[in-house]
Amino acid sequence: MRIYLVVIDDSPEAEIALRFAARRAVKTGGGVEILTLIPPQEFIAFGGVQATIEEEARLHAEGLVTKAAGTLMTESGLKPAITVREGEGPKIIREIIATNRDIAALVLGAAATGAPGKLVSHFAGTDAGTLPVPVMIVPGSLTPDAIDRLS
């Protein structure tokens, strides 16, 4: 099965990328894997504080991915695979793609204004052309109707 890997965060462009991936998956008989990343936490000398910070970050990430999965199921009927991982984004994305041969594309949303995010910059710049799957960068300025037309 053709799976579209979508990275979700708090940004509006992440929602746009998810909508695009869901529409592509429906049209191609594929699926969607939603990935949310927990950035590495700075070490704090007090263990209890460190544990609280890490737990809050995990809960926030799980809330993001749960909301995204609910939106995806409501709008497209697809039940996504969900992955929550802590660490450096590019490294984790490479690991996921390497271990799942069904992933057909990495789908990222680009901000409608300002500089592109770290993942877009990385995979369209430094690491452009090195992944074994295409990278689809969805413009954050697209409306839902435009996404539906294009996908």
Kindly report the CATH number assigned to the domain that includes residue 61. Answer: 3.40.50.620
Token pair belonging to 101: 């041969």
pLDDT reading at 34 higher than 70: yes
Distance in angstroms (rounded) separating the CA atoms of residues 69 and 39:
21
Structural domain including 47 reads: 3-150
**Pairwise CA distance, residues 72 & 54, whole Å:** 27
Using alpha carbons, select from 93, 75, 76 the residue that is nearest to residue 30: 76
pLDDT reported for residue 103? 97
pLDDT tens by residue, 5-32: 999 988 889 989 999 999 999 999 999 9
Number of domains within the chain: 1
For 15-67, give the secondary structure using H, E and C: HHHHHHHHHHHHHHCCEEEEEEEECCCCCCCCHHHHHHHHHHHHHHHHHHHHH
SS3 133: coil
**Confidence band, pLDDT 50/70/90 cuts, at residue 90:** very high
Q: How confident is the model over 49-67, as pLDDT tens digits?
A: 556 656 666 666 677 777 7
Q: What is the pLDDT of residues 116-127, one digit of tens each?
A: 889 999 998 878
